Structure 1
């Protein structure tokens, strides 16, 4: 552990610390008014987020950095993580079909209530899928040649597809898309020819566009009242539906416009006062833009992309295929969540309920993301030590 600290990658660790601190501040600011008018302590969510960050750092991040990477490559560990993820996602479906709408939040059943905290199985499933694909694709290194793609990828494709179906049935389109992107990126960098990967992606995008267009044109009655369909309509016509499903997006625009370059000041947001529901989760960046301004918002996004860049750099330079795949998978988690969250609040993508990494409120999210950072720092330190040993420094 102490020897590894000499190899700590500050280019990744420092942005993580800054982002989590900003997250605590903005969770407190964006949630305090709603808590206060509902008779609760205005610091509740801010204190909880601080606890989640501290707990994650001490009991998840540090162990993930300190242990030997071979533990994550252990077949039994990978298998059990995957089975636990499948079991928890299956349990959510049981809750959905036994309790019906009573178990749903915003049209989806995505959390398991454990008393003081709500556990989100999707977050664990993301990291489990990264471990599983890194393990499987590393074993198939050199075997992904023409004529043997299906033979070598059928098993991971089935497992990924099964996880995606479980998440889709919640229903959680954002979560399903993140799982797809993890699998797509990791398979693409594992040796599949670029042309084949690009054709597959273009084919999928074309399929999504066609289905999307057909649903909008058809406008079937049985899904018109569904929460997800209303979000789709709000994406297409936000101002026409300003008093209904388009309210979130319109108020997100107002928040960003009100903030300008330098913001109205911490705590001075108007949109968090009942206009943006749960402003400390999906739309926390809109509140940040309103209170701290567009410049600070750009700095937050810069820090996220800076972190992603250097995680990718660790993967590119890794001698181990397995270590490289871990880095690519973790980068995909952070990038896809950032892309979906920012795209939704700007009206470039439908609202999917995807939170902003390290900033939005959520125990499950910050725990898994901290584990991701710990693992990447472990990979970076391990690769640096191996390189020095090979050069005869140690």
Structure 2
């Protein structure tokens, strides 16, 4: 433990802690006015986020300092973790069948309510998929020869496909896309020829674009009452459909415009006061842009990208393929979530409900991401210890 503490990678630790603290501040700021208007204590969500953060940092510290990396490479651990995540996803589908809209939040059945906390199985599934793919691809390192690639990757591809299918049924298209990106990136860096990986990515992108184009042109009646369909149409025509789902995007524009370069001051956002729906979740960046300005929002995004680069750097220099793949997988989760969230806030991508990593309100996301960062720091510390021992042995 002492060795790991001495070899901490502060390029990862400091941005992570800064983002968590900023997230608590922004959740309080973005939620306090709405809570007060509705007769609740203004600090309710801020306190909850702080409690989630304390628990998340505790898990982060445990994974970083107390657990050995061999645990995460163990066959039984990977199988149990993956199995539990799949069972939780399956439970959501059962919940949807028997309870229907009563169990839905924003059109999707994506949470298990334990009263004390709501668990979002998708968040657990993301890390479970990363660990499983890292384990499987590490075990098959060097076997992706021409002519055997499809055969070698069929098992993880099918399993990931089943996982994505369960998430689609919730329905959660944003979560499905994140899982797909994890698979594509981890396949790409595991020895699969880059040309095949790029062609696969292009095929998926073209397929999604064609599907969206077809839905918009066809405008099917059986989809028109769907929450996800209304979100898609609101993305295409936000001002025309402001009263029918476009309010989030329209008020996001207003918030960013009001904030200008330097913002109106922390806590002084107007759009969070009933205009921007649920401003403390997937549109918290719009509130941040209004309060701390475009420059402040860009600084937050720069911190996120610096964290991603630092994690990638650990992966690039890792001796073990398993360690490298875990780092690339964790980076993919953070990058894709950031991309989808920022794209939705700016109106460049459809609104999928994907939250901003470490910043948006929610316990499941913060806890799983913190656990992931702890795992990366554990890898980084072990790499530094290994290199130091090698240098001593050479002399």
Report the TM-score, using the length of structure 1 for normalisation: 0.99
- Name the structure 2 match of 1:375: 375
More off after superposition, 196-205 vs 181-190 = 196-205
Alpha-carbon distance, 1:205 to partner: 1.1
Alignment of 1:1-394 (within 5 A): 1-58=1-58, 60-66=59-65, 67-392=67-392
Kindly provide the CA deviation profile for residues 24-60 of structure 1, in whole angstroms up to 9, marking residues without a partner as x: 00000000011111111110100111111111111x1
Stretches (4+) displaced over 2 A: none
SS at match of 1:265: coil
Partners in 1 of 2:202 and 2:150 — Cα distance?
A: 19
TM-superposed CA distance for 1:265, in Å, is 1.1
Q: Decide which moves more: 172-181 or 200-209.
A: 200-209
Deviations 1:352-371 (A, max 9, x none): 00000000000001100100
Which stretch shows the higher mean deviation, 165-174 or 381-390? 381-390
User: How far off its partner does 1:333 sit?
Assistant: 0.4
* Cα separation, 2, equivalents of 1:87 and 1:267: 41
Rounded Cα–Cα distance in structure 2 between residues aligned with 1:198 and 1:108: 31
Q: CA deviation at 1:151?
A: 1.3
Native 8 Å contact 2:312 2:331 kept in 1: yes
CA offset digits 1:328-373 (Å, max 9, x no partner): 0000000000000000000000000000000000000110010011
Comparing 124-133 and 199-208, the one that deviates more: 199-208
Task: Give distance in 2, aligned partners of 1:368 and 1:202.
Answer: 30
CA contact (8 A) 2:112 2:120 kept: yes
Q: CA deviation at 1:209?
A: 1.3
* TM-score normalised according to structure 2 size: 0.98
Query: Secondary structure at 2:77's aligned position in 1?
Result: helix
Distance 2:2 2:388 in 1: 17
Q: Which is worse superposed, 128-137 or 210-219?
A: 210-219
Aligned-partner Cα distance in 2 for 1:150–1:200: 12
Root-mean-square deviation over aligned CA pairs: 0.9
Distance 1:147 1:180 in 2: 23
| CA distance, structure 2, for counterparts of residue 177 and residue 214 of structure 1 | 19
Distance 2:130 2:347 in 1: 29
SS at match of 2:340: helix
Decide whether the 8 Å contact of 2:3 with 2:385 is kept in 1.
no
d(CA) in 1 for partners of 2:91, 2:203: 33
- Which digits, 9 at most, give the CA deviation of each residue in 1:133-163, with x for residues without a partner? 0000000100001001111101000110000
* Partners of 2:63 and 2:371 within 8 A in 1: yes
In the alignment, the residues of structure 1 paired with residue 186 and residue 76 of structure 2 have an alpha-carbon distance, to the nearest angstrom, of 21
Matched residue SS, 2:243: coil
